Structure 1
């Protein structure tokens, strides 16, 4: 390996190893892209062609929105979307929990990873070339790090963003869930049905908790569309990814199955959610002194030492200076 590195440096200069790595990576990309971009035959192609033909023939035929003619990433779907059904479902559910419900969300997510990774990798190469051109001493290790680290950052940045979005939405759902249950209990006790109560609550809490309002609104729309209520509630619990919502869904399903009062079940569960929220607040309050200890020591102890020991140290230094004279 050292012989190869020395030969590249002697032949191409200090940037020889970087040129070799870049050329090899570019060659691998060129060899791989034809296989990745090769579009497999789709059973729906025939149906799409018939729909396009009906559109071009006039307004007599039905027009369905399939794929979308403005979707420029559709022809790269085999490359940008996972072909494994389980993997596709997992990333799809993750994006739904982050609030990205579009049908092209998975494709856009992988395109963002690919584009940011390649783009920042190219910027890292440009930075290394410019830094070397300015006469700075660049080692092989620094060249590799300055080239690869931006690429890794660009590739994992969308994944980090989606994870943070999921955490924010779940925290918003957890915080607003007890209030939504209280509103739902008021609506049910006022004589409204459960379906109308969910729709009303989704409108009332949108200003404070839009993520939870979206979940309730989707439940309301799916029930109005004729979907089975049990399936709709289970889908809501899976989309939210919060244990409180999943338990609430179980309570409603069991209440409907055994014929018990929905209002009574809501009253008991809402009380439990309020107690749980108080316990979470107390837990955060109890951990606050521990978190503040380090900051308190860093911001308080040094000034205190300076105030207490500063004059004594100054007098000692001044006395030693006089004695040396």
Structure 2
């Protein structure tokens, strides 16, 4: 019993020490961010008001979340997923990194308090293993959510590509160049292509600021990793670099895209037909047999019973 109490005390003390070290890391990150802003010449007062301390805490947690991201050795993947999910601004990235730090910290603290209070950690390897699994799941949950959100947004962009091609054909036939066409789509295309317009808006701002359109289109295609959109952006790159006719390549790309979607729909219909056959056999066919053969079977049973 004394050994069990000693194990619980050591586990709780270790948890409190770990939480203290994590909060110390938050304070250190906030202090580093403050010193970096001072070094870069950023003012701590804006319009006569002191910078909010909650934002400093948020920056400190974001710094700790970035350290966890580097510990997982996937910072490049995180930046790519954040861009695919549409979280390009500083506030959204800061919230993600803060959540990546805060969620496993809270889960570890609550699990240690609950398990330690109930005495489940004493002499139980299964409880310790469960605690480790909870912490690992909490550590990986933000990345799983980010991957799911990025995948959903990529699907929305993929669904908007055919309309994007048709609008490009109309705009180029009207005599607009690439910059004017993108500007028109960003200005008027948000109700019909919200996800794609969110990607085109920063691209247009950088082009208008003097950046190389060819390089930006190539980086956008690689970043989003959508084959249909990458094909369209490749056509725009070739026209921007070498000039020439753009209507025919875009229409050919649209035909190929529609053929792929038609094949995908046929595959879905075939899969759905197989599933419906299974449902028919398992759910509809037995009641039908009972309804049809039931009276005859009951008559045969009654006749044999009379014999």
* Shift in Å, 1:251: 1.9
* Shift in Å, 1:18: 5.0
Pick from 155, 171, 176: which aligns with 1:171?
Answer: 155
Q: Report the secondary structure of 1:52's partner residue.
A: coil
In the alignment, does 2:11 pair up with 1:27? no
Pick from 214, 224, 229: which aligns with 1:240?
Answer: 224
Q: Report the secondary structure of 1:171's partner residue.
A: helix
CA, structure 1 residues 305+146, in 2 after alignment: closer, same or farther (shift >3 Å)? Answer: farther
CA, structure 1 residues 32+218, in 2 after alignment: closer, same or farther (shift >3 Å)? Answer: closer
Cα deviation 1:47-102 (Å, max 9, x = unaligned): 34x4428x68x99xxxxxx9x99453224554222486x84343112111011112
Provide the C-alpha distance between the structure 1 equivalents of 2:285 and 2:129, rounded to a whole number of angstroms: 39
Provide the C-alpha distance between the structure 2 equivalents of 1:255 and 1:29, rounded to a whole number of angstroms: 57
Aligned length: 300
Partner of 2:39: 47
Cα deviation 1:283-320 (Å, max 9, x = unaligned): 32222223444444443356457657877998999999
In the alignment, does 2:83 pair up with 1:96? yes
Partner of 2:284: 300
In the alignment, does 2:194 pair up with 1:221? no
Q: TM-score, normalised by structure 2?
A: 0.75
Question: How well do the aligned residues superpose, as a CA RMSD in angstroms?
Answer: 4.3
Matches within 5 A, 1:119-198: 119-125=106-112, 128=115, 132=118, 140=124, 143-144=127-128, 147-198=131-182
Provide the C-alpha distance between the structure 2 equivalents of 1:119 and 1:227, rounded to a whole number of angstroms: 44
In the alignment, does 2:275 pair up with 1:283? no
* Shift in Å, 1:163: 1.1
Partner of 2:96: 109
Q: Report the secondary structure of 1:81's partner residue.
A: helix
CA, structure 1 residues 117+190, in 2 after alignment: closer, same or farther (shift >3 Å)? Answer: same
Q: TM-score, normalised by structure 1?
A: 0.71
Provide the C-alpha distance between the structure 1 equivalents of 2:179 and 2:215, rounded to a whole number of angstroms: 14
In the alignment, does 2:192 pair up with 1:201? no
Runs of 4+ off more than 6 Å: 40-43, 308-322
Partner of 1:62: none
Matches within 5 A, 1:261-276: 261-276=245-260
Q: Which has the higher helix share?
A: 2
Question: 194-203 or 75-84, which moves further after superposition?
Answer: 75-84
Q: Report the secondary structure of 2:43's partner residue.
A: helix
* Shift in Å, 1:162: 1.0
Q: Report the secondary structure of 2:211's partner residue.
A: coil
Question: What are the ranges of 5 or more consecutive residues in structure 1 without an aligned counterpart?
Answer: 1-5, 60-65
Residues 37, 79 of structure 1: 8 Å contact kept: no
Residues 128, 146 of structure 1: 8 Å contact kept: no
Provide the C-alpha distance between the structure 1 equivalents of 2:280 and 2:148, rounded to a whole number of angstroms: 29
